[in-house]
Amino acid sequence: MKIIVDRDLCQGHGVCESEASGVFKVAKGASSVTVLDESPDESKRAEIELAVRYCPTSALSIKEG
Domain segments of the chain as ranges: 2-63
Count of residues in the chain: 65
SS3 at position 7: coil
For the stretch 13-47, pLDDT in tens is: 999 999 999 999 998 888 899 999 989 999 999 99
For the stretch 34-43, pLDDT in tens is: 999 989 999 9
Q: What topology does CATH give the domain 2-63?
A: Alpha-Beta Plaits (3.30.70)
> Parallel, antiparallel, or unpaired for β 2-5 and 60-63?
antiparallel
DSSP 10-65: -----HHHHH-TTTEE--TT-SS-EES-SS--GGGHHHHHHHHHH-TT--EEEE--
